[in-house]
Amino acid sequence: MRAILTLLAVLSAPFPVSAQSALPDGFVHLAGVAPTIRQDIRYAGSRNFLGRPVAGYLAGECILTRRAAEALARAQAEIAPRGLTLVVWDCYRPATAVADMMAWTRDATDQRMKAVFYPGIDKARLSVEGYLSSRSTHSRGSTVDLGIARAGAVPGFASGACTAPAGQRLDDGALDFGTSYDCFDPAAHVRAPGIGREAAANRAMLASLMQRNGFRAYAKEWWHFQLVNEPFPARVFDFPVVRRGQR
């Protein structure tokens, strides 16, 4: 009987939320700094290249260093008068999530999202080609994946290959950037040829906006930007992504 009561006490004990979900000093939820930026955090759900939530993402929230969040707020203020908004797809990424992604690349049996996110490349080559890495700058908290959308726009129902023409490919609810987000293909390279005049202009607009606000681009992903003056250039963090207000 005593053993049963002990077990019940353990099971009913409150979960130590504050110990496991408080943000480290220097980190903030983007919604608390720039609430008008649209958030569509893909790795918290199944609309991503794994086809499932990624380890470490307990909520669809953008967390960044305060310095990076404030830089995004300035970028948002710059484009908002034009009826546009930033839309973020990934922000801080726990080291646990990075390890989960790398383990996925080694599972040759899981090809369920190939037709959408990496239709033209062998899954085993994703890290070799520079699309995924065992050490992500996202884990330092000052790197963000994002695009630009028209204010009020929402994703449609198209779900074709990320390289398909606009209106047929997976719809991010963003302007036409030539591919969908997280498209592991040469067409996603910043200066990829043949993506069309409108997509090229939108990529240039996004890159210029981010550079003016302190970020640098990554040549193989038009959506990926890293804060130049990041506060934790040598740190790797592994706290979970939690919803705002959870402490």
Burial level of 123, CB count in 10 A (0-12/13-18/19+)?
buried
Is 230 annotated in the active site? no
Q: 3-state class of 143 per DSSP?
A: strand
Q: Please tell me which residue in 129, 198, 221, 230 is annotated as part of the active site.
A: 221
CB 71 within 8 A of CB 215: yes
Q: Where are the beta strands (DSSP E) in the chain?
A: 27-29, 38-39, 63-65, 84-90, 143-150, 215-218, 221-227
Q: Which residues contact 27 (CB under 8 A, 6 or more apart)?
A: 63, 64, 65, 66, 92, 141, 237
Backbone angles phi, psi at 88, to 5 degrees: -100, 135
Residues marked as catalytic: 221
